[in-house]
């Protein structure tokens, strides 16, 4: 009996264990079951053109073009063969050439082709037949979004939520016969799910289904866009630093990821980037519209123009930051919507550097509204006044928020130069189009190498950079950390365009945390580097404009929350009377709306007391950024005191330990006191303090 009971007991325990152990899988299975249900629903609705993908939790609807077929070939030869044999022969398909320029048939880096149905309808059978070809990676009907033609590749990217294992993704992918791939530039916990071409569910549908499982932070189809040019600037296609398509027969993708960033912002004209250099060509056709008044720190006068024949460096740097975009000429700057402030402080007349001129330039930029200061130069020796000027710009610029200061790390293939190594600036090194630190032995085979080391923060494209040259001309292949730094300065300007409340350290942190880490290096964590893993060769990695804006958004939200994270209310009863049933409510107006800033019942301990509370606004939709004024502040103070005389007095103050303006207070059961307080400006501090004093007359 004992044995049987023991067996039953142990079996129960085992079954219980198995049940518990299997629960997570069951959960996955349950979620997958739900997903399967969704599949059935989606299949039904697909006939109603209910095709969409998710973007920040919102559905982005796409239309299918029944008349256009998109094809991606395995190689260029197959594509060419198909073009010459199939399309030009008897075929139900013809080349899609709406503008008669043949560009959809011209050579494609990704071996793409768009064909148009002669009959006007691309049938399911035709799509299936094309996908059965061995030389086809994927084929589908073309898509349209807001009038722009797109096509989905055979994959989509997912980012696993924290706490979800890779195994879960594997299990889910396997269910739909998908493979998983991780790509160098894709970021931490981001994977590509590759959809088999004969799958009944295309990549767009599957990406939505995956998102709806709740297992992923995002799920994003990989699209090709055709008639949407991110820039119509003539040399944009050569700007590998902005969009690396493999222009030099290299691995594509190693760029600053600017195009999705431009979907958020191309820069605000309220944001000014100072170019501290040898001047800028003020009349350059690709710069003039973005330039504001500058300064000549050498001659201490209005200007900023390049003066001497050799003064071309500043014009090149300025172009990377803010060349006019979509004017069909030249290049596109990283932050083309921002303004450029030319400050000439380097003298090419005798190739010299004067501390006084540099300091004058920095101070002028700071005092005249520069938000970002780009310095693609080094100082010859460490200098207290120069360090002090930089520090002042970092802490006092932008009306106290601080300027973001970007320095080139240097080209000597050694440790980071001064002043780039200062903690108050961002030191930027240069990478090649393969995403590697530029070394002397790397192509282009010239003599220089990007400085590196423990003080290097970020890297950015710095070889074969097309940019503006004086007299409305262009460089096609400039190199150096001088050209890397302005990429970062431009991204900093984009961040401030969206989130001007961010401090220089926060801008720096946003870029560091979101940087792309080339897999050729090993990254380590260190308590000295709070923004994550880094490597001395590339710092935190390649600046990622879109990623930086995403992280900046999170920091911005935290700034708002920190600005009004709570009110500490202190009530001090300096009388000999017992006051109880206290409640305090504080109201204010922020951005035109009345907000409850504080509402709590409070207790006094003997001899006085306080209680910490939180503002009710957290449940509301209203936020206030630092610098916002809270007006119409009114206090409602409820208390009862059965034995209090009528002549007690009360005073209140916000963020002031010394109360003023004591007023008489009349007591009775449930008496209350209402007081208006002066307007207050939301500080960067995380909490506000309200003091209420009650005293005898």
Partner 1 sequence: MTARHIGIFACLLLLALGCKKLEKASLYYYYSGEKIYLDERKDMLFLLFEDGLSDTQKQAIVRSDSALHPWRFMGKTVDGSGGSRYAVLVAGTRIPQTTVNKFLNIGGTKAVSYMYEYEGTPMAATNKFSVMLKGTTSLAQVEDLAKRYGCAVGQEEWAVSGVYVITVPKTVSMGTVRLSCLFYETGLFEWTSPDFIAFGNFFNAT
Instruction: Please list the active-site residues.
Output: 277, 313, 482
Nearer of residues 337 and 461 to partner 1, judged by Cβ: 461
Nearer of residues 139 and 403 to partner 1, judged by Cβ: 403
Taking contact as CB under 8 A, which single stretch among the options 91-99, 157-165, 258-266, 372-380 is the one that binds partner 1?
A: 372-380
Shortest approach of partner 1 to residue 443 CB, angstroms?
13
Which position among 33, 446, 580, 663 is part of the footprint of partner 1 (CB under 8 A)?
Answer: 446
Shortest approach of partner 1 to residue 258 CB, angstroms?
21
Tally of CB atoms within 10 A around 247 = 16
Q: Which residues contact 294 (CB under 8 A, 6 or more apart)?
A: 280, 282, 302, 303, 304, 305, 341, 342, 343, 344
Shortest approach of partner 1 to residue 307 CB, angstroms?
9
Taking contact as CB under 8 A, which single stretch among the options 81-89, 119-127, 188-196, 292-300 is the one that binds partner 1?
A: 292-300
Nearer of residues 364 and 637 to partner 1, judged by Cβ: 364
CA-CA distances (angstroms) from residue 253 to 148, 544, 555?
Answer: 23, 11, 27
Which position among 152, 168, 411, 559 is part of the footprint of partner 1 (CB under 8 A)?
Answer: 411
- The DSSP string of 407-451 is EE--SBSSBPPTTTTSTTSEEEEEE-TTS-B--TTSTTT-S-B--
Which position among 335, 346, 404, 604 is part of the footprint of partner 1 (CB under 8 A)?
Answer: 346
- Establish if 408 lies at the interface with partner 1 (CB under 8 A): yes
How far is 451 from 454, CA to CA, in rounded Å?
A: 10
- Establish if 356 lies at the interface with partner 1 (CB under 8 A): yes
Which position among 382, 591, 608, 645 is part of the footprint of partner 1 (CB under 8 A)?
Answer: 382
CB 481 within 8 A of CB 538: no
Strands 190-194 and 148-160: what pairing? antiparallel
How far is 278 from 527, CA to CA, in rounded Å?
A: 39
Shortest approach of partner 1 to residue 420 CB, angstroms?
9
How far is 275 from 312, CA to CA, in rounded Å?
A: 12
Which position among 254, 344, 378, 534 is part of the footprint of partner 1 (CB under 8 A)?
Answer: 378
Residue whose structure tokens are 């000429």: 329
Shortest approach of partner 1 to residue 559 CB, angstroms?
27
CB 436 within 8 A of CB 543: no
Strands 648-654 and 148-160: what pairing? unpaired
Look at the alpha carbons of 331, 334, 336, 340 in this order and tell me if their dihedral is positive or negative. negative
Which position among 45, 88, 232, 385 is part of the footprint of partner 1 (CB under 8 A)?
Answer: 385
Which position among 74, 76, 182, 388 is part of the footprint of partner 1 (CB under 8 A)?
Answer: 388
Q: Which residues contact 287 (CB under 8 A, 6 or more apart)?
A: 280, 281, 315, 318, 319, 322, 323, 324, 340, 468
How far is 302 from 296, CA to CA, in rounded Å?
A: 6
Shortest approach of partner 1 to residue 317 CB, angstroms?
8
Nearer of residues 373 and 408 to partner 1, judged by Cβ: 408
- Establish if 363 lies at the interface with partner 1 (CB under 8 A): yes
- Establish if 392 lies at the interface with partner 1 (CB under 8 A): yes
Which position among 86, 250, 252, 355 is part of the footprint of partner 1 (CB under 8 A)?
Answer: 355
Strands 648-654 and 663-665: what pairing? antiparallel
- Establish if 359 lies at the interface with partner 1 (CB under 8 A): yes
Which position among 360, 437, 556, 688 is part of the footprint of partner 1 (CB under 8 A)?
Answer: 360
- Site for partner 1 (CB under 8 A): how many residues? 50
Nearer of residues 473 and 680 to partner 1, judged by Cβ: 473
- Establish if 410 lies at the interface with partner 1 (CB under 8 A): yes
* Contact track, partner 1, 490-519, x by CB under 8 A: ------------------------------
Is residue 695 within a helix (H) or strand (E), and if so which, with residue range? strand 688-695
CA nearest to 207, candidates 27, 37, 59, 73: 59
* Contact track, partner 1, 270-289, x by CB under 8 A: --------x-----------
- Establish if 299 lies at the interface with partner 1 (CB under 8 A): yes
- The two three-digit tokens of residue 208, written as one number: 């939505």
Which position among 12, 74, 349, 686 is part of the footprint of partner 1 (CB under 8 A)?
Answer: 349
Burial class (CB in 10 A: 0-12, 13-18, 19+), 118: exposed
- Establish if 245 lies at the interface with partner 1 (CB under 8 A): no
Beta bridge partners of 341: 274
- Establish if 333 lies at the interface with partner 1 (CB under 8 A): no
- Establish if 603 lies at the interface with partner 1 (CB under 8 A): no
- Establish if 354 lies at the interface with partner 1 (CB under 8 A): yes
Coil, helix or strand for 584? strand
Shortest approach of partner 1 to residue 528 CB, angstroms?
19
Nearer of residues 348 and 509 to partner 1, judged by Cβ: 348
Taking contact as CB under 8 A, which single stretch among the options 22-30, 220-228, 350-358, 527-535 is the one that binds partner 1?
A: 350-358
Nearer of residues 229 and 367 to partner 1, judged by Cβ: 367
- Establish if 488 lies at the interface with partner 1 (CB under 8 A): no
CA 587 to chain CA centroid, nearest Å: 35
CA-CA distances (angstroms) from residue 391 to 102, 384, 396, 404, 488?
Answer: 56, 10, 8, 11, 19
Shortest approach of partner 1 to residue 233 CB, angstroms?
21
Residue whose structure tokens are 């990377």: 320
Which position among 197, 306, 313, 398 is part of the footprint of partner 1 (CB under 8 A)?
Answer: 313
- Establish if 56 lies at the interface with partner 1 (CB under 8 A): no
- Establish if 316 lies at the interface with partner 1 (CB under 8 A): yes
Beta bridge partners of 691: 570, 653
Nearer of residues 480 and 613 to partner 1, judged by Cβ: 480
How far is 55 from 208, CA to CA, in rounded Å?
A: 10
Nearer of residues 299 and 666 to partner 1, judged by Cβ: 299
Taking contact as CB under 8 A, which single stretch among the options 222-230, 311-319, 497-505, 508-516 is the one that binds partner 1?
A: 311-319
Q: Which residues contact 543 (CB under 8 A, 6 or more apart)?
A: 256, 428, 458, 459, 460, 487, 488, 491, 511, 515
Give the distance between the most distant pair of CA atoms in the chain.
Answer: 105
Question: Around 421, how many Cα atoms within 13 Å sit in the side-chain half-sphere?
Answer: 16
CB 343 within 8 A of CB 275: yes
Site for partner 1 in 465-484 (CB under 8 A): 478-483
How far is 309 from 311, CA to CA, in rounded Å?
A: 6
- Establish if 485 lies at the interface with partner 1 (CB under 8 A): yes
- Establish if 376 lies at the interface with partner 1 (CB under 8 A): yes
Nearer of residues 354 and 680 to partner 1, judged by Cβ: 354
Which position among 96, 156, 176, 377 is part of the footprint of partner 1 (CB under 8 A)?
Answer: 377
DSSP class of residue 220? E
Give the residues lining the site for partner 1 (CB under 8 A): 278, 297, 299-300, 308, 313, 316-317, 346-347, 349-356, 359-360, 363, 376-386, 388-389, 392, 408-411, 417, 446-448, 478-483, 485
């Amino acid at each position: 009996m004992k044995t049987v009971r023991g067996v039953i007991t142990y079996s129960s325990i085992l079954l219980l264990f198995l049940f518990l152990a299997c629960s997570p899988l069951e959960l996955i299975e349950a979620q997958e079951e739900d997903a399967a249900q969704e599949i059935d629903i989606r299949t039904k609705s697909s006939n109603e053109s209910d095709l969409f993908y998710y973007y920040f939790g919102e559905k982005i609807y796409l239309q299918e073009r029944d008349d256009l077929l998109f094809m991606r070939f395995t190689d260029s030869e197959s594509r060419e063969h198909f073009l010459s044999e199939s399309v030009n022969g008897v075929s139900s398909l013809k080349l899609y050439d709406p503008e008669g320029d043949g560009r959809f048939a011209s050579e494609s880096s990704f071996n793409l082709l768009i064909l148009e149905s002669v009959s006007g309808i691309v049938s399911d059978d035709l799509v299936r037949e094309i996908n059965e070809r061995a030389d086809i990676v994927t084929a589908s009907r073309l898509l349209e979004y807001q009038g722009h033609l797109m096509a989905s590749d055979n994959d989509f990217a997912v980012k696993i939520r924290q706490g979800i294992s890779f195994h879960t993704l594997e299990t889910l992918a396997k269910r739909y016969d998908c493979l998983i791939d991780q790509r160098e530039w894709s970021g931490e916990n981001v994977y590509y799910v590759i959809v088999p071409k004969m799958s009944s569910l295309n990549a767009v549908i599957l990406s939505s289904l995956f998102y709806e499982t709740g297992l992923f932070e995002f799920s994003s189809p990989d699209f090709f866009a055709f008639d949407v040019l991110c820039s119509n600037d003539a040399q944009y296609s050569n700007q590998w630093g902005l969009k690396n398509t493999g222009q030099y027969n290299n691995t594509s993708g190693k760029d600053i990821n600017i195009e999705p960033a431009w979907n958020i912002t191309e820069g605000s004209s309220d944001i000014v980037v100072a170019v501290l250099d040898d001047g800028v060509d003020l009349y350059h056709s690709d710069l003039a519209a973005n330039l504001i008044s500058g300064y000549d720190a050498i001659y201490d006068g209005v200007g900023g123009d390049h003066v001497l024949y050799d003064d071309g460096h500043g014009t090149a740097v300025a172009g990377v930051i803010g060349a006019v975009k979509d004017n069909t000429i030249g290049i596109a700057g990283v932050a083309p919507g921002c303004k450029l402030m030319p400050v000439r402080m380097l003298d090419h007349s005798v190739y010299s550097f004067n501390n006084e001129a540099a300091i004058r330039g920095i101070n002028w930029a700071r005092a005249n509204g520069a938000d970002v200061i780009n310095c693609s130069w080094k100082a010859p020796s460490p200098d207290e006044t120069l360090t002090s000027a930089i520090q002042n710009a970092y802490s006092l610029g932008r009306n106290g928020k601080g300027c973001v200061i970007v320095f080139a790390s240097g080209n000597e293939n050694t440790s980071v130069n001064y002043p780039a190594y200062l903690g108050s600036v961002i030191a930027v090194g240069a990478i090649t189009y393969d995403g590697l630190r530029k070394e002397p032995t790397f192509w282009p085979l010239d003599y220089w190498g990007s400085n590196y080391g423990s003080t290097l923060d970020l890297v950015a494209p710095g070889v074969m950079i097309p940019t503006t040259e004086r007299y409305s001309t262009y460089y096609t292949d400039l190199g150096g950390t001088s050209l890397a730094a302005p990429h970062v300065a431009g991204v900093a300007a984009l961040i401030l365009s969206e989130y001007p409340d961010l401090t220089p350290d926060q801008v720096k942190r946003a870029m560091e945390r979101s940087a792309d880490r080339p897999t050729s290096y090993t990254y380590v964590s260190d308590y000295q580097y709070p923004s994550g893993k880094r490597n001395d060769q590339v710092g935190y990695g390649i600046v990622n404009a879109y990623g930086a804006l995403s992280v900046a958004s999170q920091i911005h939200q935290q700034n708002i929350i920190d600005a009004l994270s709570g009110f500490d209310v202190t009530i001090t009863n300096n009388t000999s009377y017992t006051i109880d049933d206290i409640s305090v409510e504080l109201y204010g107006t922020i951005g035109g709306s009345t907000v409850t800033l504080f509402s709590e019942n409070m207790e006094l301990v003997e001899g006085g007391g306080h209680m910490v509370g939180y503002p009710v606004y957290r449940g509301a939709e209203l936020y206030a950024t630092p610098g916002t004024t809270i007006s119409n502040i009114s206090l409602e103070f409820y208390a009862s005191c059965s034995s209090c005389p009528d002549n007690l007095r009360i005073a209140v103050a916000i963020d002031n330990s010394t109360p003023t303006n004591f007023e008489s207070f009349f007591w009775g059961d449930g008496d209350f006191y209402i007081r208006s307080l002066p307007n207050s400006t939301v500080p960067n501090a995380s909490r506000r303090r309200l003091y209420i004093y009650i005293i005898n007359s």
